[in-house]
Amino acid sequence: MAKNNLSTHRFQRKISDFCEVRLAPIASKRMLESIRPYLISLVVHRQPPPIANGRIDWTIIGQACGIEGELTAELKKALRPGLDAIIRWLGAPPAAEDIRSTRQRAKSNNAVRRKLETATFSKPRKILSDTPPVQSSSLPRGPEPKPISPFPEPLFEATNDPASFHDALIYQMRRFGESYWQLYRAVVRLGETFDEKTLLSWIQGKRVPRSLTSFEILSRIERRYRLAQGYFKAKLPHQSRSLYGHDMGDISAAERRRLAWHLPDDFSSLTFSKREEIIEWVRRVIISGSTDYRRYQAAASKQRYAIRFPGVTYGGGALSPRSQINPNSTGHNSETFEDPDLLSGVVDAPPRLAMEMADLIRFKTSTLTAIGFQRNGVWGEETASQKVEHLGLMFGALAASPAGVVKGRGVPLSQLTFGLLIFPGVWDWYLQWREQRRGFYTKWEEDMLMVAMALTRAEVGWIRQHPELLTKVQPIEGLIAPEEIEFAARDWHGACDAFHRHAANRSKEIQRVMRVHRDPFEPIMVILEADSPLAEYRKITDEILKRMPDENRYPRPAAEAVRSFLLLRLGLHLGLRQKNLRQLRLCPRGHFPTSERRLEDMKCGELRWSDRENGWEVLIPSVAFKNSGSSFFGQKPFRLILPDLLDLYKYLEAYIDRHRGVLLGSAKDPGTLFVKTVKTTSIDAAYDSTKFYEAWRTVIQRYGIYNPYTDRGAIKGLLPHGPHNLRDILATHILKQTGSYEQASYAIQDTPDVVQQHYGRFLPQDKAALAAKILNQVWEAA
């Protein structure tokens, strides 16, 4: 930075404050922005105001400021004290503030002393002189800085428009003949802490604007060079990057990171009410989703009460070390009130209950049943995980405190056992508790009753085949009477039969009154109502490519963007369920593909290169699908060659060759096509069902939902949703184009009946429009 030893930042600040206090109340903003740089330039260049015949020449001042016709008598009177202060300051010895060392301060004092002595023995200097004062020999030599002009004239017309940000900035500076230091002096105001090295780093291509302050400086440069607003921002290498520095009040740091992506650049300059409006809209529409079910889910998720089974694994008997404790030693006083809400909201199951759950999972998932036991059907991995979760919620509700927000039953943890599930009073309390929380009955309650009926079914029910569970049951006031326990001890099978009949009757009663709380079509209704749902949804992939970061400068964000693009493109081409898409393995080109038998054992598919078809092939054995017994498969694998349309192969091969490795970092490769962004706290790079759903939802939040405050996002009215909604979109698209439920079922690997019941949204007006399209051809041909 060039130093001017005859000017001080302190006096420049005083002049700037003078303008704000004395001139701002009577001058327009444009006039103030013209007068202030002029006054500061007089201080910087050590030049007195123009004088004519011993008086201030207001004509020259007006011309220099570009306001010669607007200098009123009132403005001249207000401006005169500032000009007088500059004249007085020029007659005093300068104070070198930038000099810090003692030696330098001594030199400054000597210079002042010599100047005072010279002034004593020389002729008196004329303060009001047309000629600038004679400069001391101690001044730095060289040309004086150019005067600052608020709107300089270009040296030549713009005939080029560089694509990159730093090239465009250099080109515009060259057009106006300015160095980076001259530009810095022109756009950075007195008292601002913006570093000139930051501007230099932009020009050198080392950094780009990221903060709100940097974007404010950028907008000043655009106004100075008379460029279109947003000219430089449109050339930044990371278009979708969020800014930092927004004023969001007392919002937590974690929520700030989620909100920052969806806030406009000028958020901090808006009024308080407007900022509150934007934050409320982002929270309601983008972050949580504005459906009735999403609001209920958001509120319910804050009330944690489940019993967790961390030692139960699918298909085996592995338990946590705690489960090896003697199950007969409860470790809790049955008279002591235990409240999971007071502990952590979600607690681990006591050892005895954990062992019972492990035995149930082993019974329902093992290849062969243990000798002496019978079963009807088996649970897959996803089903077993779901049942563990649902039963954990039931036991958690029984254990939660009646005085807490959950309003549970308060059963001590030591009394929880699967033997409780054969008593009607326990189930009636749980069903009514869920109805009170939600406001009505849903299919959840019916499904839980179906599980209870399966566990107590004659000959094959797991609880039915374990009468020893009754020995751990204790009376619970209002739920289980001692007489019921005595009856079950005398006739275990009779007690199971009685409960089975009770559960069947309750199931019929709930079916009659249950309501649908979660409408799966609601988040994507704007897509399904379009004439071409698939074309409408494809706009999201175009938005991702539009805001793709520069891979060379931002390798990780670019890799995440390509992964987001492929998630949607492969989902639209394949129509797979979340599990099959998430577990899809990768065989790079040139490697030997995994055998079909091995994929059957792993129950997952693979993406591999097919030399015969000269394209990327997806092969998934039928056993990997949830509906593996469906007539669609006929025990044959699913096989599809991906089409090379709209640069799909280009981005797929770039992801396999470069981007996937960037996401993995130094973590172990799980072998799946889609991997998480590995961070320092990451344990596994593979997605689980929850993380995969969150990743998809994040893509929709960032690129899918149109934000009117930032003008980003592809589709107006879209709401956050998961990957399963893609199957609804594909089925509805084919139904609208062909009217065939059978062809729609081909797109999502299912049957026409399932499509008609769960997936396709084919309304009467859609059917009538499709029929009319065919009938109208006769009239058009006439």
Residue with tokens 């949830």: 626
φ and ψ of 706, to 5 deg: -75, 130
What span, in angstroms and rounded, lies between the C-alpha atoms of 259 and 266?
Answer: 14
Spatial CA neighbour of 626 closest among 638, 639, 614:
638
What are the CA-CA distances from residue 625 to residues 181, 741, 748 (Å)? Answer: 65, 20, 11
- CB neighbour burial string for 390-426, b if at least 16 within 10 angstroms, e if fewer: ebbbbbbbbbbbeebebbbbbbbbbbbbbbbbbbbeb
pLDDT computed for residue 316 by the predictor: 39
Query: Distances in Å between the alpha carbon of 545 and those of 354, 519, 708?
Result: 49, 31, 20
State the pLDDT at residue 271. Answer: 86
Which residues lie closer than 8 Å to 414 by C-beta, 6 or more apart?
330, 331, 332, 333, 334, 338, 350
- Which pLDDT value is given to residue 303? 64
The answer to whether the beta carbons of residues 629 and 648 sit under 8 Å apart is no
Q: 206: which DSSP letter?
A: S
Q: Which two tokens stand for residue 169?
A: 């900035």
Tokens of 310: 């961390």
pLDDT at 328: 39
Cα torsion angle, 7, 11, 15, 20, sign? positive
Q: How far is CA 300 from CA 284, 295, 405, 437, in A?
A: 16, 9, 10, 9
What pLDDT, on a 0 to 100 scale, did the predictor assign at position 777? 77
Query: DSSP characters for 666-699?
Result: TSPP-SBSSB----TT-S-SB--HHHHHHHHHHH
**Which amino acid makes up residue 659?**
H
**506's tokens:** 């309750």
Q: What is the pTM of this model?
A: 0.64
Q: Provide the pLDDT for residue 300.
A: 60
How many other CB atoms sit within 10 Å of the CB of residue 30? Answer: 12
The stretches in the chain having pLDDT less than 50 are: 1-6, 92-106, 108, 112-113, 115-137, 314-344
Say how far apart CA 634 and CA 304 lie, in whole Å: 43
pLDDT of residue 650: 95
- How many angstroms separate the CA atoms of 243 and 557, rounded? 15
DSSP state of 715: B
Residue 180 has a pLDDT of: 79
Q: Is 345 left (phi over 0), alpha (psi -120 to 50) or beta?
A: left
